[in-house]
Amino acid sequence: MHKTFEMNLPKLIEHFHSDEKCRSYLEAMRWPKGIACPRCGATTISLIQKRDQFDCNSCRYQFSVTAGTIFHDSKLPLWKWFLAAYIMTESKKGVSANQMKRMLSVSYKTAWYLCHRIRAAMKEGTVRPLSGVVEVDETYIGGRRKGVGQGSRRHKTMVVGAVERGGRVSLRVDKRATKKTLHAFVNAVDSDNAEAIYTDEWKGYRGIGDENTRHETVNHSEEEWVRADVHTNTVEGVWSLFKRSIVGSYHQLSAKHLDSYLDEMAWRFNNRDNPYLFRDTLVRLVGAETLEYKELIS
């Protein structure tokens, strides 16, 4: 039962159709060496069967497997959390709160809050710098009104991204595409020994290479898109997926939450070949800090 397995919908239903099953899976995940009191660390614990709670024999603290975790929500059954996490990991373009509301039969507010908490758990902390060949590009999100076309960049939010060929993506919201912001981003996400950085010819990228890392550009303004293996098609593919997800799933996206949508996108992209993505997302959820509703709407 607690073995790792690749997830699909029939398996999800088979293994996690009840709160009891979800709870015992979380217990194994949270306490692989046996249940420990979250308050004092003692391992002599009694079970209060009726309330799905544990009682610490040392300090008498009563707790459940979700105590102190992001799962702690008195209203939402655990199996709906599991289902939501599965849906979000499996949907390449993401899922809107409205769609989640319909799929889980919960209120819009519950669905919205749930999606944001799962998204928050997907945020990756310190990660290995990108190496090898890295494509870097920037794009502009939002600010477009119906029938007005592209609109002015002044009303949009810039997102800058770097993708390691065959590897990970790093995405960040930044103020403006200046030489300073672009260079700072690349320095933060790229390994000093990256083999190459490929960008378009935008002057903000000038001087981004050094003796260890060559910098090559494709001249989009002169309709040059690919020169041998020099192109930025991978990172542009990330933009197009993200923009389709905004249009299709999220409808409107406030700049405030843009970072967390980028985290969600990066989590899926960086785990695109991970057969245990569902399990690994649950691991994140077990380890994630609680996120208050009022923090999200402040």
Binding residues vs Zn ion (CB under 5 A):
37, 39-40, 42, 56, 58-59, 61
Report the residue number, 37 or 169, with the smaller CB distance to Zn ion.
Answer: 37
Report the residue number, 13 or 40, with the smaller CB distance to Zn ion.
Answer: 40
Report the residue number, 36 or 196, with the smaller CB distance to Zn ion.
Answer: 36
Distance in Å, CB of 40 to Zn ion, minimum: 3
Report the residue number, 56 or 282, with the smaller CB distance to Zn ion.
Answer: 56
Distance in Å, CB of 39 to Zn ion, minimum: 5
CA angle 201, 188, 289 (to 5 degrees): 130
Report the residue number, 40 or 247, with the smaller CB distance to Zn ion.
Answer: 40
Report the residue number, 64 or 270, with the smaller CB distance to Zn ion.
Answer: 64
Angle between helices 78-90 and 19-30 in degrees, nearest 10:
70
Under 8 Å CB-to-CB from 257, ≥6 apart: which residues?
116, 296
For residues 216 and 69, give the distance between their C-alpha atoms in angstroms, rounded to a whole number: 46
Chain centroid to CA 132? 23
> What single-letter DSSP state applies at residue 192?
T
Q: Is 14 exposed, middle or buried (CB count within 10 Å of its CB: 0-12, 13-18, 19+)?
A: exposed
Chain centroid to CA 123? 5
Distance in Å, CB of 152 to Zn ion, minimum: 59
Report the residue number, 59 or 226, with the smaller CB distance to Zn ion.
Answer: 59
Distance in Å, CB of 37 to Zn ion, minimum: 3
Report CA Rg, the chain.
22
Please state the length of the chain: 298
Chain centroid to CA 64? 27
- Phi, psi at residue 255, to the nearest 5°? -55, -30
- Could you give the 3-state DSSP secondary structure of residue 75? coil
Computed from CA positions of residues 253, 254, 255, 261, in that sequence, does the dihedral angle turn out positive or negative? negative
> What single-letter DSSP state applies at residue 49?
G
Distance in Å, CB of 46 to Zn ion, minimum: 11
Report the residue number, 59 or 255, with the smaller CB distance to Zn ion.
Answer: 59
Which residue has tokens 């991204």?
161
Distance in Å, CB of 64 to Zn ion, minimum: 14
Distance in Å, CB of 27 to Zn ion, minimum: 16
Q: Nearest to residue 292, comparing CAs of 70, 26, 121, 64?
A: 70
Distance in Å, CB of 43 to Zn ion, minimum: 9
